Structure 1
Amino acid sequence: MTNVQTALNGICPYFTMFPLDFPLSILKRRARAGDVVLDPFCGRGTTNFAARLVGLRSLGVDSSPVAAAITASKLTTATVDDILTEARRILAEREACHIPTSEFWKWAFHPNVLDALCRFRETFLEDCTTDTRIALRGIVLGALHGPKQKTFPSYFSNQCPRTYAPKPAYATRFWQGRGLEPEPIDILAVIERRAKRYYGTSSDITGAVRLADSREAEALQPDTPEARFDWVITSPPYYGMRTYIPDQWLRNWFVGGPDTVDYTNRNQVVHSSPEDFAANLRQVWRNAENVCAEDAKMVIRFGGITDRRANPLDLIKSSLGDSGWRITTIREAGAATEGKRQADSFLRTKSHPMVEYDIWSVKQ
């Protein structure tokens, strides 16, 4: 695959991600024509995008609205001209009804930029069902916050991390202490550059994404009763990682969440104990087994974080007990790449990479 063909996978940063090569290599080498792929913890949609690249249909499910929106942007087909036309139309015709006014928002975005972002946000909340709007929403999500560039602006915010959202109190002190005032950004220029990067090519094969909790049986149901999934390729949350929404709160605001940080953990796998965590995963595996073909295969990439006293391999093996799946192979996947690890997205100091595993299983 060329960089042009795979560029869309990078439309929006997301800290819980495995490399595209993981699902892509499995599907390219082992999938059959017509196979259908499921990812019950789809995150930013890497498995679904890989399925699209090899010409397979897929379903991605995630309880995070941010994850669902990012995945949707990778499964749509839109032209650069249509994206730009829609962006111009929204900015010309729409008036923002509500613009956040707290100190954080005044320092995070230039007033003109924030006004435009609110126009986009309210438009998408009313209707984001067309391919063009789904693509445009994904582009704006990816550009919502990030570092200042030396050449031309790539992000809409004041100086920020690109992968996770800044916490309001700390960020405000940071900007004020350094005199970093938000600058006016040519929003359409940023959108145009990103549209050309991510939507220069297209594919007829697409898939679907569903905002739902995979612990609920109906979340994984195919669109038609007779349909069955042939592959499950996924990476569930690692034990102890539960701040997905708080760490993505700005993007979560853009897709309909509050304009303050929400620290609750609704609709997420529980982390109260290793046993409860494994039981929650087991329910997902059972739900997946119920909608899979008889010869279906499931591949799980799983690891851990160093501040949790739980062996990740023991956890994932426990979750697969009495799940309808039989483990066939366990392979070490190496240590996750520095700077792209799930663990380091949640810890104040960098941790030593833990070994990750690929667990292969088949329906019993």
Structure 2
Amino acid sequence: MLNQLSIFDHMLPPSRALDLVAEIKNFADFGQATRCETVGGIPYFINEFWTAGQRQAHSLHEISYRACFKAQLPQFFIERLTKPGDLVLDPFMGRGTTLVQAALMNRRALGNDVNPLSQLLARPRLRPMSLQKVAAALASVDWTCGRIEREDLLAFYHPVTLRKLESLRIWLAERVPLTREPTDAVADWIRMVAINRLSGHSPGFFSGRSMPPNQAVSVKAQLKINEKLGVTPPERDVVAVILKKTQTLLKDGVPSGQADHCLSTGQAWSLTDIKDGQVDLTVTSPPFLDIVQYAADNWLRCWFAGINPEEVAIDMHKTEKAWTDMVRRVLVEQARVVRPGGHIAFEVGEVRGGKVLLERLVWQAAEGLPFEKLGVMVNDQEFTKTANCWGVENGAKGTNTNRIVLLRREF
């Protein structure tokens, strides 16, 4: 059995390596012995590194967003490869999982995403508001000023609910406009919560019964759902829904103090706000080829926030070469912003039933750049045989693994 140092000792300065030995004895801490294999010249480390008993993340993470990884993934690397006060970056921040976890662990957070919706989801949870402040702010909203501008949205909402949502949009536009950094942190929080209550499959959402909240269906699809169920959207108490979700998000407490953070909207290969050699650790996951339709998934959230999803320049990479070229541009920028000795954990999941192993394309994209290519960690779920890591079917499509390329910036 390998001990914990065997995978990380060459990734850390000697003092940190000794700390690691004292902190974690061996890979048995993760449920079973880690398998080490070399496939295609790439070293793989395979185990269930975060087990079922460890999957209860902090309540601040309970925000739905499609194609996001669990908080245990960044936590694993942050606690082993950084110390309090270090800078942790995610250039594809999505809902902000890496950043929130970094803040919870007393690290500084840097985030970027081409989708402006990401800032609206991540920023408020880096400076959480109390339930009392949220309730007081909601009491100041004029809930009678809203007018139904889009009749088609009645497929999702009761007319009274939709008018209240329009009233809330007016109130938010006055306090947290998209054109500048918000100064009203409470309104910023309320917008984040409201964005995440727009549609779902329970009374905890503003809508009638719809699909799970990480993917908004089309108006046409929602009308079919209503017809199939023989229902119309019921009236919802907008204030009560927001307060209930706020209470849920805050139930595990909040980071000590205001989290030091900087967020930007732009391409992951052009991080102009980040200085050279500033980042200690990057934990990220890029879009996977052409499998996720971000504009279509987020159209309802974009409506509420005042974002035109057609203007969000999210790349759709339909070929392996195009995707590899994008990753190369991202890694060139990472070579600039990550300090010597700093690390990158580049998660690529699985696509196309395991027929395309994206970690091999990342490995290729890193060739010739100033990184040590340390290997690929495969977090293999307990109900999936290790053979599935290489695309072997086990009675089901896909293999349910996280696949993380580990790189260290050369000294």
Length-normalised TM-score, structure 1: 0.84
Q: Alignment partner for residue 207 of structure 2, among 157, 163, 169?
A: 157
Shift, 1:135, TM fit: 1.3
Q: Which amino acid aligns with 2:307?
A: G
1:73 match: 124
Residues 337 and 283 (structure 1), Cα distance of their counterparts in 2 relative to 1, 3 Å cut: farther
Contact 2:353 2:399 in 1 (8 A): no
**Residue 92 of structure 2 corresponds to residue 46 of structure 1:** no
Matches within 5 A, 1:174-189: 174-189=225-240
Matches within 5 A, 1:198-217: 198-200=249-251, 201-203=253-255, 204-206=257-259, 207-217=261-271
Give a deviation string over 1:245-269, Cα, whole Å, max 9, x none. 21121112112135xxx5x584223
Aligned counterparts of 2:155 and 2:84: Cα–Cα separation in 1: 52
Shift, 1:22, TM fit: 1.0
**Residue 361 of structure 2 corresponds to residue 315 of structure 1:** yes
Contact 1:326 1:363 in 2 (8 A): yes
**Residue 111 of structure 2 corresponds to residue 60 of structure 1:** yes
Q: Alignment partner for residue 169 of structure 2, among 100, 105, 121?
A: 121
Residues 80 and 3 (structure 1), Cα distance of their counterparts in 2 relative to 1, 3 Å cut: farther
SS in structure 2 of the partner of residue 90 of structure 1: coil
Residues 226 and 357 (structure 1), Cα distance of their counterparts in 2 relative to 1, 3 Å cut: closer
Contact 1:269 1:277 in 2 (8 A): no
Aligned counterparts of 1:78 and 1:15: Cα–Cα separation in 2: 25
Residues 266 and 242 (structure 1), Cα distance of their counterparts in 2 relative to 1, 3 Å cut: farther
Structure 2's unaligned 5+ residue stretches are 1-52, 177-181, 385-395
Matches within 5 A, 1:76-91: 76-91=127-142
Contact 2:269 2:333 in 1 (8 A): yes
Identity fraction in percent: 19
The structure that has the greater radius of gyration is 2
Contact 2:113 2:266 in 1 (8 A): yes
Aligned counterparts of 1:4 and 1:311: Cα–Cα separation in 2: 28
Residues 243 and 28 (structure 1), Cα distance of their counterparts in 2 relative to 1, 3 Å cut: same
2:145 match: 95
1:140 match: 194
Residues 325 and 337 (structure 1), Cα distance of their counterparts in 2 relative to 1, 3 Å cut: farther
**Residue 61 of structure 2 corresponds to residue 9 of structure 1:** yes
SS in structure 2 of the partner of residue 91 of structure 1: coil
Aligned counterparts of 2:282 and 2:132: Cα–Cα separation in 1: 36
Length-normalised TM-score, structure 2: 0.75
Q: Which amino acid aligns with 1:140?
A: A
Q: How many residues align?
A: 337
Q: Alignment partner for residue 241 of structure 2, among 190, 210, 213?
A: 190
Residues 355 and 193 (structure 1), Cα distance of their counterparts in 2 relative to 1, 3 Å cut: closer
Contact 1:57 1:205 in 2 (8 A): no
Q: Which amino acid aligns with 2:96?
A: G
TM-align CA RMSD: 2.7
Q: Alignment partner for residue 347 of structure 2, among 285, 298, 301?
A: 301
Between stretches 301-310 and 132-141, larger displacement belongs to 301-310
Give a deviation string over 1:25-59, Cα, whole Å, max 9, x none. 22123312321010001111110011011101111
**Residue 311 of structure 2 corresponds to residue 257 of structure 1:** no
**Residue 320 of structure 2 corresponds to residue 274 of structure 1:** yes
1:34 match: 85
Aligned counterparts of 1:46 and 1:336: Cα–Cα separation in 2: 23
Q: Which amino acid aligns with 1:352?
A: G
Q: Which amino acid aligns with 2:333?
A: N
Structure 1's unaligned 5+ residue stretches are 339-349
SS in structure 2 of the partner of residue 298 of structure 1: strand
Give a deviation string over 1:100-120, Cα, whole Å, max 9, x none. 122xx1221011111121222
1:341 match: none
SS in structure 2 of the partner of residue 37 of structure 1: strand
Aligned counterparts of 1:336 and 1:217: Cα–Cα separation in 2: 38
Aligned counterparts of 1:156 and 1:297: Cα–Cα separation in 2: 42
**Residue 219 of structure 2 corresponds to residue 168 of structure 1:** yes
Contact 1:228 1:291 in 2 (8 A): yes
Q: Which amino acid aligns with 1:109?
A: Y
Aligned counterparts of 1:351 and 1:190: Cα–Cα separation in 2: 37
2:7 match: none
Q: Which amino acid aligns with 1:213?
A: Q
Residues 266 and 321 (structure 1), Cα distance of their counterparts in 2 relative to 1, 3 Å cut: farther
